[in-house]
Amino acid sequence: MAGVVANAAVLTALLVYFGWVRISEQSRWLGVDESLFRVSTREYLLRSVRPVLILLIAVGAAGLVWVALDHWLAGRIAARGVRDRAVRWTLRGLLAAVVLLPLAVWLARPLWPATAFVAFPLALAAALLLLLYVLKVRQRTGEDVPLSASRDVVVRASAALLAGICLFSAAANYAQVEGRRLALGFLDGLDRQPQVVVYSAQHLHIDAPGAREEELDPEQSAYLYRYVGLRLLEYTNDTYFLVSDEWTPGYGVVVVLPDEAVRVEFVRGAPGGP
């Protein structure tokens, strides 16, 4: 039971951390401070489930491959001994992978920078675990002197700690890649974002490039002003975050409106158009 609770706590921390890093990176690319959005822990969790599950599936698949390799290697050693040629070459290959795996990911950065950025901490974790696995196999077969019980506990705890740090680093790198992708996607598709029309009974003094204020007839509407030329950036914590049609990260205004203070319409095409 304690193990389940511990794993759930680690997974929750990973989801929250991923969500925070992703939104922070997305906000940085959009030229907005992440603290403005006041995202709740629940929203961090909900926005992180899908991408973090992809990362965990990859880690789980690697673990299954590892189990299959260990099953084959243990059977081979039991049947033919540690001097078997296939066993020796397998152990040598695993030791070579300790160096070659992180090196290959590092060298792949010019070709696949985003993938290598995410994969490098995972490659380091895999290299560490491969090294410990080879040492354990050699100890089981009498090739090396086994560690004492106290030292073995220290080694296992240290390896788990370092592997956990690598996993969180990979999640942070993945979150940065996702945040950058979302920000660039927003910039490229700004004209396809939902148009927002804001109605207010008072002047809102929205001074954003491309936004326009229109006065309404007080005899026909409870609202005196309408604002057009706005696009939805984010809605969180009962607050609208809007940008204008001519907004850019280098020059633009983010309009922050509590939803109880105004009436908001989402429209297609030009307001008042067909």
Q: Is the pTM of this model over 0.95?
A: no
d(CA 32, CA 26): 9
Task: Categorize the per-residue pLDDT at 123 as very low, low, confident or very high, splitting at 50, 70 and 90.
Answer: very high
Residue 5 has pLDDT above 50, yes or no: no
User: What's the rounded mean pLDDT across residues 135-139?
Assistant: 82
Task: Categorize the per-residue pLDDT at 18 as very low, low, confident or very high, splitting at 50, 70 and 90.
Answer: confident
Residue 105 has pLDDT above 90, yes or no: yes
Task: Categorize the per-residue pLDDT at 145 as very low, low, confident or very high, splitting at 50, 70 and 90.
Answer: low
What pLDDT is stored for residue 144 in this prediction?
67
Domain count across the chain: 2
Q: 272: helix, coil or strand? A: coil
What pLDDT is stored for residue 273 in this prediction?
44
d(CA 252, CA 208): 6
Structural domain contains residue 107: yes
Domain boundary among 153, 188, 223: 188
Are 131 and 159 contacting, i.e. CB atoms less than 8 angstroms apart? no
Structural domain contains residue 43: yes
Structural domain contains residue 274: no
Structural domain contains residue 146: yes
Shared domain for 129 and 48, answered yes or no, is yes
What pLDDT is stored for residue 269 in this prediction?
56
Structural domain contains residue 151: yes
pLDDT digit string (tens) for 40-83? 777 777 777 777 788 788 888 888 888 888 888 888 888 887 77
User: What's the rounded mean pLDDT across residues 187-204?
Assistant: 84
For 164, the domain range is 2-188
User: What's the rounded mean pLDDT across residues 16-20?
Assistant: 82
Residue 3 has pLDDT above 70, yes or no: no
Shared domain for 207 and 151, answered yes or no, is no
Shared domain for 226 and 175, answered yes or no, is no
Residue 140 has pLDDT above 70, yes or no: yes
Which tokens hold the place of 179?
């945040």
Shared domain for 249 and 211, answered yes or no, is yes
The number of beta carbons lying within 10 Å of the beta carbon of residue 237 is 13
What pLDDT is stored for residue 7 in this prediction?
64
